[in-house]
Amino acid sequence: MSDDAVVKRLKVIVKEHGGQLALANAIGVDQGFISKVINRKQDVSYYLIRKLCFQLKYSPEWLILGTGDKMIHKQDSAKLITEIQMLRTEVDILHARMRAYELELQEIKSLPGNQTKQQAG
């Protein structure tokens, strides 16, 4: 995703909502956060995209890729976004578990008895 393209579309959203402060209030973020993203002092985040899509019903496809309808018009689309978010959360949980298992495996490998077995094998 090109941040420049997303920022360009964010500027359209800001204009539609009557300015940065009005948009920030509409999605529950600080106006400074919106300003930093627009002025490229902060990267476009999943957090901001999620807020714009869920709270204001902007299409993630339009916001990220610049294709499709600007707004979500169908209930099915909102349901799909929710399902994608749930899957993303599940993936994050699985990644955390994998990291924990990798650390546990490293601990097991570092035990004194295992080093001897590894060297003999």
pTM: 0.60
Q: What is the mean pLDDT of residues 110-119?
A: 71
22-73 pLDDT tens trace? 999 999 999 999 999 999 999 998 899 989 988 998 988 899 889 888 988 7
Q: Which CATH fold would you assign to the domain 3-65?
A: 434 Repressor (Amino-terminal Domain) (1.10.260)
CB neighbour list of residue 24: distance below 8 Å, 6 or more residues apart: 30, 31, 33, 34
Q: Which two tokens stand for residue 29?
A: 């973020």
Q: How far is CA 45 from CA 32, 52, 83, in A?
A: 14, 11, 19
